[in-house]
């Protein structure tokens, strides 16, 4: 039944897209580039119009490459600029680069440099909205900068302001802009776990809940007929009214070290959750109950674990990493359709042509079909040598942007030197 409903929703979505209707919530226009974590539609899938269907055997054409500090922050783009976060020396920085050349335009300090046994430097990804960039460092300093110049506009020390403890592995959730608010989960006690700040001034608009922070970036979706912000905290998934902070429903999900990392995957009032360290995976259904909502478990599988990277949903299936195996899974049932070893841990970026770009822990890069019938690799490349890659790729403006812990590189995805060239 769920599969039939999902198919109906895909047909409806295609019709709406044809009519030019906008996505709800905080999803942004694709022509704006890749302005937020997991892209303008919030689903980790990039528009593939005009992109190569297979990569040249000599490899993708490199446009530019430059040294970059450590960290795991992903890359966002808008117009002629890209932004990410790096750690160098004693500080972490938000950095703006020219999309076409990689030339540094500005950098501004976010806070002290984090050293960690699992990797040094910043974890969160900036967000660009209405000419401003919102970026948070590993110790909870949230900044709003002017996007073009880097001029600081406001700053909030989230841990101090909301009396929250630093997560074991550092602050990692990315800021989410919803209308005139910035949503975040600093994890403070006494009803200050989930917060909304005024995006213009940084002033507190609402606080809610009492959950410790995890590492997940929230999503805003229309679920069961109502706009909802879904946070994956250290205690589980929480649905919240994004305008007021009122808790609508809760689904308990505790993981050792509060290591809930992936962004919840929402499709047709269903929510996919997964964590490592023995927590496994589950699909839950959000439904109305009287004047409120409830979260009901559909299935649970303790052997499916998304450790740190979020999967992508494509035509009724999830594609991502189950531990160190690239896996295709039936969304409705949790059944594994296929698995592939060889990438170790990794990340995936979807393309709406029905393919995905896979980046492995040792930086193996592959173009793979989104096909539940089996693993089919179309192309492979080696963008880095002797490095590890834990940052999900970004595809925008006909370019593929990758980073490891030492450098950032841009490749041409179009095969047209005039379109994606410097």
For residue range 218-247, what is the model confidence (pLDDT) as tens digits? 999 999 999 999 999 999 999 999 999 999
Q: For residue 142, report the phi and psi dihedrals to the nearest 5 degrees.
A: -100, 125
pLDDT band at 402 (very low <50, low <70, confident <90, very high): very high
pLDDT band at 307 (very low <50, low <70, confident <90, very high): confident
Average pLDDT, integer, range 190-215: 97
Domains and CATH numbers, the chain: 2-420 (2.130.10.10)
The pLDDT of residue 30 is above 60 = no
Of the listed ranges 2-16, 104-118, 289-303, the least confidently predicted one is 2-16
The pLDDT of residue 337 is above 80 = yes
pLDDT band at 28 (very low <50, low <70, confident <90, very high): very low
Average pLDDT, the chain: 91
Task: Please give the pLDDT value at position 417.
Answer: 76
Q: What is the Cα–Cα distance from 234 to 178, expressed in whole angstroms? A: 22
The pLDDT of residue 26 is above 70 = no
Q: What is the Cα–Cα distance from 338 to 222, expressed in whole angstroms? A: 31
Task: Please give the pLDDT value at position 31.
Answer: 52
pLDDT band at 19 (very low <50, low <70, confident <90, very high): very low
pLDDT band at 4 (very low <50, low <70, confident <90, very high): very low
The pLDDT of residue 156 is above 90 = yes
Task: Please give the pLDDT value at position 32.
Answer: 56
Q: What is the pTM of this model?
A: 0.92
For residue range 344-381, what is the model confidence (pLDDT) as tens digits? 889 999 999 999 999 999 999 999 999 999 999 999 99
């Amino acid at each position: 039944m769920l599969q039939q409903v999902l198919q109906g929703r895909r047909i409806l979505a295609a019709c709406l897209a044809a009519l030019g209707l906008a996505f709800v919530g905080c999803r942004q226009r694709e022509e704006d580039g890749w302005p937020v974590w997991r892209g303008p539609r919030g689903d980790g899938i990039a528009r593939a119009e005009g992109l190569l269907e297979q990569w040249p055997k000599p490899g993708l054409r490199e446009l530019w490459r430059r040294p970059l500090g450590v960290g795991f922050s992903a890359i966002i783009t808008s117009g002629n600029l890209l932004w990410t976060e790096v750690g160098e020396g004693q500080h972490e920085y938000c950095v703006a680069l020219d999309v076409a050349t990689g030339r540094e335009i500005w950098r501004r300090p976010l806070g002290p440099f984090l050293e960690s046994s699992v990797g040094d430097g910043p974890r969160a990804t900036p967000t660009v909205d209405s000419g401003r960039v919102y970026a948070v460092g590993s110790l909870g300093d949230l900044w709003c900068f002017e996007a073009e110049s880097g001029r600081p506009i406001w700053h909030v020390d989230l841990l101090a302001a909301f009396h929250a403890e630093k997560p074991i592995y550092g602050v990692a959730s990315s800021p989410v802009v919803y209308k005139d608010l910035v949503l975040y989960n600093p994890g403070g006690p006494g009803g200050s776990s989930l917060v909304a700040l005024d995006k213009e001034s940084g002033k507190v608009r609402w606080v809610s809940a009492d959950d410790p922070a995890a590492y997940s970036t929230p999503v805003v979706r229309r679920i069961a007929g109502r706009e909802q912000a879904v946070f994956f905290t250290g205690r589980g998934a929480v649905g919240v009214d994004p305008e007021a902070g009122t808790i609508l429903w809760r689904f308990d999900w505790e993981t050792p070290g509060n290591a809930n990392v992936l962004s919840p995957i929402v499709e047709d009032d269903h929510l996919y959750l997964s964590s490592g360290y023995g927590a496994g995976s589950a699909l839950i259904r959000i439904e109305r109950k009287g004047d409120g909502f409830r979260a009901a478990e559909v299935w649970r599988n303790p052997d499916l674990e998304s450790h740190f990277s979020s999967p992508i949903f494509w035509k009724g299936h999830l594609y991502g990493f189950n531990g160190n195996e690239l896996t295709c899974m039936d969304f409705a049932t949790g059944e594994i359709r296929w698995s592939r070893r060889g990438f170790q841990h990794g990340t995936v970026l979807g393309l709406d042509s029905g393919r995905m770009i896979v980046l492995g822990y040792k930086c193996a890069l592959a173009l793979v079909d989104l096909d539940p019938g089996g693993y089919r690799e179309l192309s492979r490349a080696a963008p880095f040598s002797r490095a590890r890659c834990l940052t999900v790729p970004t595809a925008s403006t006909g370019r593929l942007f990758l980073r490891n812990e030492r450098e950032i590189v841009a490749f041409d995805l179009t095969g047209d030197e005039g379109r994606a060239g410097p």
